[in-house]
């Protein structure tokens, strides 16, 4: 009986000393949740859950009928603003300038005629051959024709000088605003097609075909990365011996041979911070969270499997 108790004590001591030389944890992958930006109906689920996907793969398609109409309107607004801006840059056509010159010539002829008529009426009025009313009408006609000539000349000058710089800048700003609206509408349209943002495994599709999703809800969950990493807790005595880039051996439950992984991250703060001074035994219980990346040859390993990392 005494021999049995001594043997059991030796086994427990060996197990306890062995556990101090490993960091315990599990295999994990980064969880990428792709959310809905609007309330629309799911019209296509082209990839099945559990499939390997690459960056850019379409995972979920939402109904984009209404948003395509918004994009079409924004395109039309951009075309209208572009045409207006280009029209101002080119200025008046030669035909418009020629027509304005013709208007000036006609106004000059009418002014000459009304001026001659006014002088004739004025001369007749001196000899009492024309009434005061006739003289006033002749004067008014001459002044009206003079004003028409001024207006025609100013219109010609405006066409020859071209548009004002302020009008061109206004048209350019209007064009840029229309283009910005188009980019926004196009972005909303693109967001209705949910694509994988990283390589990985399509872990979950929370919505079914034909359902109307709610804004902000996850549409697809991707476990990123070709191979998982071991998220383990490093005992305090080994923290100073481990740096990013170190090669460590990872033991995975169910696999006989260890896998060589690389430390990709390790915390600088322990998993908990005591509020009192720790003695040597207590501070050895501090744990630092670390991540050890497995090679691509381990891509088939599932997440959540227990793993142990040998300490240096």
Say if domain 22-63+199-310 classifies as CATH 3.40.30.10.
no
Q: Work out the pLDDT band at 8, boundaries 50, 70, 90.
A: very low
The percentage of the chain sitting over the pLDDT mark of 90, rounded to a whole number, equals 55
For residue range 175-230, what is the model confidence (pLDDT) as tens digits? Answer: 999 999 999 999 999 999 999 999 999 999 999 999 999 999 999 999 998 899 99
Q: Work out the pLDDT band at 274, boundaries 50, 70, 90.
A: low
Count of C-beta atoms within a 10 Å radius of residue 19: 12
Q: What is the 3-state secondary structure (H, E, C) of 230-298?
A: EEEEEEHHHHCCCCCCCEEEEEECCCCCCEEEEEEEECCCCCCCCCCCCCHHHHCCCEEEEEEECCHHH
Q: Where are the domains of the chain?
A: 22-63+199-310, 70-185
pTM for this structure?
Answer: 0.66
Q: Work out the pLDDT band at 278, boundaries 50, 70, 90.
A: low
- Rounded Cα distance, 24 and 31, in Å: 21
Q: Which pair of tokens denotes residue 136?
A: 């006033």
Q: Work out the pLDDT band at 163, boundaries 50, 70, 90.
A: confident
- Residue 49, pLDDT score: 94
CA proximity to 28, closest of 312, 244, 309: 309
Predicted confidence (pLDDT) at residue 62 exceeds the cutoff of 90: yes
Average per-residue pLDDT for the chain: 86
- Residue 284, pLDDT score: 63
* pLDDT (average), residues 256-264: 95
CA proximity to 92, closest of 167, 176, 149, 151: 167
Instruction: List, in order, residues 6 or more apart from 231 with CB less than 8 Å away.
Output: 25, 26, 27, 28, 289, 290, 291
For residue range 94-116, what is the model confidence (pLDDT) as tens digits? Answer: 777 778 888 888 888 888 888 88
Alpha-carbon separation of residue 38 from 62, 68, 219 (angstroms):
9, 14, 11
The percentage of the chain sitting over the pLDDT mark of 70, rounded to a whole number, equals 89
């Amino acid at each position: 009986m005494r021999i049995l108790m001594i043997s059991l004590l030796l086994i427990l001591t060996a197990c306890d000393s062995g556990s101090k030389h490993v960091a315990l944890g599990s295999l994990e992958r980064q969880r990428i949740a792709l959310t809905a930006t609007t309330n629309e109906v799911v019209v296509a689920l082209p990839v099945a859950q559990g499939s390997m996907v690459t960056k850019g793969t379409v995972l979920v398609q939402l109904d984009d009928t209404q948003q395509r109409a918004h994009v079409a309107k924004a395109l039309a607004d951009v075309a209208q603003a572009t045409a207006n801006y280009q029209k101002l840059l080119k200025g008046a056509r030669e035909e418009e300038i020629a027509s304005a010159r013709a208007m000036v010539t006609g106004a000059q002829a009418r002014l000459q005629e009304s001026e001659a008529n006014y002088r004739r009426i004025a001369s007749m009025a001196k000899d009492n051959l024309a009434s005061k009313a006739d003289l006033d009408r002749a004067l008014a006609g001459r002044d009206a024709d003079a004003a028409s000539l001024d207006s025609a000349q100013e219109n010609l000058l405006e066409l020859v000088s071209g548009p004002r710089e302020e009008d061109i800048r206004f048209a350019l700003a209007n064009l840029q605003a229309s283009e910005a609206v188009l980019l926004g509408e196009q972005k909303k349209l693109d967001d209705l097609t949910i694509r994988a943002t990283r390589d990985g495994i399509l872990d979950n599709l929370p919505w079914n075909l034909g359902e109307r999703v709610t804004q902000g809800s996850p549409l697809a969950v991707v476990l990123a990365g070709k191979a998982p990493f071991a998220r383990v807790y490093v005992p305090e005595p080994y923290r100073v011996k481990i740096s990013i880039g170190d090669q460590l051996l990872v033991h995975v439950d169910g696999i006989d041979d260890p896998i060589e992984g690389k430390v990709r991250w390790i915390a600088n703060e322990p998993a908990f911070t005591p509020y009192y001074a720790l003695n040597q035994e207590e501070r050895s219980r501090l744990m630092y969270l670390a991540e050890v990346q497995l090679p691509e040859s381990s891509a088939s390993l599932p997440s959540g499997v227990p793993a142990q990392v040998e300490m240096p």
